[in-house]
Amino acid sequence: MFSHKKKNQLRGGKSSRFAEKLKTRELESATMRTNKFGIRIAASALALAVSYGAQAVTDEDIMNDANTPEDVVSYGMGTQGQRFSSLEDLNTDNVKFLQPAWAFSFGSEKMRGQETQPMVKDGVMYVSASYSRVYAIDAKTGEELWQYDARLPDGIMPCCDVVNRGVALYDDKVIFGTLDAKLVALNKDTGKPMWIKKVADYQAGYAITAAPLVVKGKIITGVSGGEFGIVGKVEAYDANTGEKVWTRPTVEGHMGYVYKDGKAIENGISGGKAGVTWPGDMWKNGGAATWLGGTYDPETDSLFFGTGNPAPWNSHLRPGDNLFSSSRLAIDPDDGSIKWHFQTTPHDGWDYDGVNELVSFDLKEGGKTIKAAATADRNGFMYVLNRENGDFIRGFPFVDKITWAKGLDPKTGRPIYTEGGRPGNPADMEGKKGKTVVAQPAFLGGKNWMPMAYSQETELFYVPSNEWSMDIWNENVSYKKGAAFLGAGFTIKPANDDYIGVLRAMDPKTGKEVWRYENTAPLWGGVMTTAGNLVFTGTPEGYLKAFDAKTGEELYRFNTGSGVVGTPITWTMDGEQYVSVASGWGGAVPLWGGEVAKVVKDFNQGGSIWTFKLPKDRVASK
């Protein structure tokens, strides 16, 4: 047997003496590492295949995910990102009987920031963990089938913790992104790497934290790194070979490409040309990172990706709208062309990233059904758009107070800026720190990364949000590869004495809040809703909670032992309904939260996946 230290090295622990070899032999080393455990892994996988009849995941499986409650094979429980389950065995009457089935520890000292959404296929759960790890777990028993740890180099620069939000499943592969900006495809039965592709240069500040999308046999990924002056992009890779299919930069002025026979063919400059909405050469390091990934709408054949803040934060250095930062983009999945864009915060000066998910839904009003999509932005406004062309339908606040804008133009949705609401120009202070302003929401947003859910039953959105403000000021800064490119300082403060987090039910037809649940600590986990009239989410205090989708009444809570910042799922197996969620406190709040971080300083870190089920005898007869 190997010693514990040797096992960690084989599974991917850092070791400086291997650093140079890893640069040229990463795939070979990963394959050898897996082979060290090949007998145990192969035996488990074989037993699982016999027991469950494990099948490959097809394009049809992914496109139909929202209608197949026996599995979860897409990030968002359906490519449109509604996170709605048609299951109703578990409901408001019997959710109190939901009980733990098993818990699985991610192990080691890497116990923080578990923001993942699990996947389930044919009795196997595939789940990622912090520090770019992936596990296959027997969904019935919680037994580990295999584990893969990416060998991360020294010097990775994730802005907002060492998180990973999930994997993609396709054919016989489990695909995920790493903190050193690679895509890795693993064999679903053994965990053995099938291909590894470099997406971007981690030494320039790039990383990947989002779950990839799979559309028409292509792996679609975004990138992180907006705080380092990178250039955001969306890229497609062939799922079978890992070869690049197309790339689309999300900063105006950069060339897009499609790839044929290994050759790059120009496919038009993003925005048409450089310098239209950016001054000078600022577009060359313009940010607009696509760090949250995207959704896909098969009805319009469109990828929907949000883009992050322009770089640097100091907006006085880059006058103009700074396209395509802080925007939502509709992208052609075949070649990466931009179909339309909608910018939520033109000339962003508060770090109000526009990355938050755009969720497709059918808006029924005025006797018509509109192909719509909604997003709850960091800036505190919720937007309803026509997803066919990007036209603005309506927008409204979903937080209690917004100071940086007085409202939205009713025709275009463009913000009406508050006079004096922008942090001051350092040039007005002889190059020293610019005038400080108080802005609400804080830059961590009225809603951050944590995905909302839409119920087809209630026709409401369930939005995890936070009430906080910030002191923010600008400073001078210049770009240097791999260095922070902010040009701003800030302090975040709670907006209320007794709560920060608010789970809200929002009506997209009226813009009204239907109900709310207030939480002491910030909410940082995703939301799921079901046809059983339930809404599930987690809290940093450690609870998985369930609410009545119509009234907001809390119906269930279970403490997982660490803060829940993951996103729950539900599925059926052997006639029983299951719920799973990752537990493990971390993410941006304790790193960037200022005074807010004091509220959560005593919360325990962790790393586990909890799975619950409703016993068969608690299901009402039909």
Give start and end residues of each alpha helix (H) in 212-319. none
The span from the CA of 445 to the CA of 378, in Å, is: 4
Helix (H) or strand (E) holding 213: strand 213-215
Q: Where are the domains of the chain?
A: 59-613
The span from the CA of 286 to the CA of 307, in Å, is: 11
For residue 622, how many other CB atoms are within 10 A of its CB?
Answer: 5
**Is it the case that residue 4 has pLDDT exceeding 50?**
no
**Is it the case that residue 558 has pLDDT exceeding 70?**
yes
* Domain covering 59-613, topology: Methanol Dehydrogenase; Chain A (2.140.10)
Phi, psi of 529 (to 5 degrees): -130, 160
For residues 427 and 409, the answer to whether their CB atoms sit within 8 Å is no
Mapped onto helix, strand or coil, the DSSP state of residue 195 is strand
The strand order across the sheet containing 608-613 reads 99-105, 608-613, 576-583, 569-573
**Is it the case that residue 26 has pLDDT exceeding 60?**
no
Catalytic residue among 65, 89, 351, 377: 351
Average predicted confidence (pLDDT) for the chain: 91
For residues 37 and 26, the answer to whether their CB atoms sit within 8 Å is no
Feature table: binding site for Ca(2+)? 227, 309, 351
**Is it the case that residue 36 has pLDDT exceeding 50?**
no
Q: What is the pLDDT of residue 550?
A: 98
pTM: 0.92
For residues 581 and 538, the answer to whether their CB atoms sit within 8 Å is yes
Secondary structure letter of residue 301 according to DSSP: T
The span from the CA of 73 to the CA of 86, in Å, is: 15
Mapped onto helix, strand or coil, the DSSP state of residue 63 is helix
pLDDT in tens, 272-324: 999 999 999 999 999 999 999 999 999 999 999 999 999 999 999 999 999 99
* 155 exposure class (CB count in 10 Å sphere: 0-12, 13-18, 19+): exposed
Decide which of 16 and 509 is more confident.
509
**Is it the case that residue 22 has pLDDT exceeding 60?**
no
Mean of pLDDT values over 10-16: 34
Residue among 386, 380, 370, 384 nearest 418 (CA): 380
State how beta strands 327-331 and 302-306 pair: antiparallel
Decide if 548 is catalytic: no
The span from the CA of 251 to the CA of 235, in Å, is: 14
pLDDT in tens, 143-191: 999 999 999 999 898 888 999 999 999 999 999 999 999 999 999 999 9
**Is it the case that residue 53 has pLDDT exceeding 80?**
no
Please provide the distance, in angstroms rounded to a whole number, between the alpha carbons at the two ends of the chain: 54
The span from the CA of 602 to the CA of 558, in Å, is: 19
Percent with pLDDT over 90 in the chain: 84
For residue 369, how many other CB atoms are within 10 A of its CB?
Answer: 10
- 32-36, 61-65, 364-368: least confidently modelled range: 32-36
pLDDT in tens, 76-87: 999 999 999 999
pLDDT in tens, 357-382: 999 999 999 899 999 999 999 999 99
Feature table: binding site? 115, 165, 209, 227, 309, 351, 448-449
Residue among 79, 83, 47, 183 nearest 128 (CA): 183
Q: What is the pLDDT of residue 54?
A: 63
Rama region for 293: left / alpha / beta (φ>0; ψ in -120 to 50; rest): left
Half-sphere exposure of 372 (CA within 13 A, CB side): 21
Percent with pLDDT over 70 in the chain: 91
Structure tokens at 176: 């995920």
Structure tokens at 192: 């053995």
Mean of pLDDT values over 223-249: 97
| Sole residue written with tokens 């790039």 | 206
Q: What is the pLDDT of residue 621?
A: 52
Q: What is the pLDDT of residue 429?
A: 87
| Sole residue written with tokens 């705080």 | 227
Q: What is the pLDDT of residue 155?
A: 87
**Is it the case that residue 47 has pLDDT exceeding 80?**
no
pLDDT in tens, 459-480: 999 999 999 999 999 999 999 9
**Is it the case that residue 34 has pLDDT exceeding 70?**
no
pLDDT in tens, 424-450: 999 998 768 999 999 999 999 999 999
The span from the CA of 189 to the CA of 509, in Å, is: 46
| Sole residue written with tokens 């992050």 | 308
- 22-31, 47-56, 154-163, 425-434: least confidently modelled range: 22-31
For residues 572 and 613, the answer to whether their CB atoms sit within 8 Å is no
Feature table: binding site for pyrroloquinoline quinone? 115, 165, 209, 448-449
**Is it the case that residue 561 has pLDDT exceeding 80?**
yes
What one-character-per-residue DSSP string does 89-111 give?
SS-TTTGGG-EEEEEEE--SS--
